[in-house]
Amino acid sequence: MSTTDDRRFEILRAIVTDFVATHEPIASKALVDRHRLGVSSATVRSDMAVLEAEGLIVQPHTSSGRVPTDKGYRVFVDRINEVKPLSPSERRAILNFLDTAVDLDDVLRRSVRLLAELTNQVAVIQYPVLSSARVRHLEVVALGPQRLLLVVITDTGRVEQRMMTLTEPLDDGVLAQVRHLFGTALDGKRLNEATAAVAMLTDTAPPELARPILEIATVLIETLVERPEDRLVLGGTSNLARSAGDFAPATGGMDSVLEALEEQVVILRLLSHARKNSHVTVQIGEETLVENLRSTSVVSTGYGASGNVFGGVGVVGPTRMDYPGTMAAVAAVARYVGEVLADRS
């Protein structure tokens, strides 16, 4: 090894790897036996003492081995140079599984199920953020003389439907005019711009169309300003039971983690960090700034296409997790969710 620091990092890496695998404190003898560190047992013990003094590992009990601290995990994660790619067969399996979904809801449900299976953690994905979506199509369907179905389809695959009742019936000719006016006003606009365009249409519409335009616009504005991105899909919650021992009673145990998961705004805030860039973000223990999640780590990233980030996806699990494997799985699922949604836009 080139430097003392590199050697000590390799010892830290070995402790993290073994502790994740065994959930048992790691002793110096075990490190020497399992890993080719190229140094004596005395040197390993000396380096472990330095790592402990630096707060990277800790001895949970007298006469026991050492376990990584949150700070130790952070140093380990920061030294992961790149997320390892999945094999071609793994990539094909993910894409085929997601591509056979019937609609956006099914894509998101399949995504969290797949991510939970790949990582053995709780998987979360955010509905596409409306502010990044554009209107791809608006359909106005007559269900009767005064009953209409309004369908808004965005380029993120989101479909919003609303039924409404007009105060007066419309004939086919007037309905065609109304459909054309709204379609022209909304086509290709971001949803925040679309809301303004609909409102402006009520001021510029021909007098004979003023009433139906106003009534339809009111329903459309309610649809466009709703925030489905404030919804999450969760999968693999039962995986928490496998790691129950990792959640310290002092921080509320597994029940506190479940309570945090129920507070969707908490998870949305954590995912918002990942939406700001295309990199996988790892928040460890107290870095989450959530009292109930002090025993957990959140690994997340944004998903999207063509440079647009639609939302966040990630996993929540104990700090004792396989970070390289989890980061790879999160990155892969995010990539293919974006590709599938882009192909459907």
Choose among 206, 157, 163, 161: nearest CA to 181. Answer: 206
Please check whether residues 210 and 74 belong to one and the same domain: no
Same domain (yes/no): 251, 187: no
Whether residue 212 lies inside any domain: the answer is yes
Within a domain: residue 46? yes
**251 shares a domain with 118:** yes
Give the CATH number for residue 50. 1.10.10.10
Same domain, 122 and 238: yes
pLDDT at 1: 45
Residues 185 and 244 in one domain: no
pLDDT of 110 reads: 94
Task: Check residue 167 and report its DSSP letter.
Answer: S
63-77, 101-115, 131-145: which has the minimum mean pLDDT? 131-145
* pLDDT in the model for residue 198: 86
pLDDT of residue 277: 59
CB 149 within 8 A of CB 119: no
Number of domains in the chain: 3
d(CA 80, CA 75): 9
**For the domain that residue 257 is a member of, what is the CATH number?**
3.30.450.40
Q: What is the mean pLDDT of the chain?
A: 87
Domain that holds residue 149: 131-228
Residues 170 and 259 in one domain: no
Q: In degrees rounded to 5, what are phi and psi of residue 281?
A: -105, 135
In the predicted model, what is the mean pLDDT of residues 289-309?
88
Q: What is the CATH number for 189?
A: 3.30.390.60
Six token digits for residue 234: 């969760």
Whether residue 242 is found in the same domain as residue 329: yes
Q: Which residues, 6 or more positions from 12, have their beta carbon under 8 angstroms from its beta carbon?
A: 51, 56, 57, 68, 72, 75, 76
Residue where a domain terminates, one of 195, 228, 261: 228
- Say yes or no: 147 and 296 in one domain: no
Confirm whether 190 is domain-assigned: yes
Same domain? For 197 and 155 the reply is: yes
User: How does pLDDT run across 126-185, given as a tens digit for each residue?
Assistant: 988 766 678 888 999 999 889 999 998 888 777 888 999 999 998 899 999 999 999 998
Verify that 246 and 217 share a domain, yes or no: no
Domain final residue pick, 78, 111, 144? 78
* Same domain for 109 and 157: no
83 located within any domain: no
* Tokens coding 302: 């944004």
Q: Please compute the mean of the pLDDT values over residues 233-244 and round it to a whole number.
A: 89
Output the pTM of the full model: 0.76
Q: Is residue 97 part of a domain?
A: yes
Q: State which of 213, 228, 243 marks the end of a domain.
A: 228
The answer to whether residue 29 is domain-embedded is yes
Are residues 177 and 292 both part of a single domain? no
Residue 47 falls inside a structural domain: yes
pLDDT digits (tens, 9 = 90+) for 173-185: 999 999 999 999 8
The tens digit of pLDDT for each residue in 256-279 reads: 888 888 877 788 888 877 666 568
Within 8 A by CB and 6+ apart from 165, the residues are 146, 147, 148
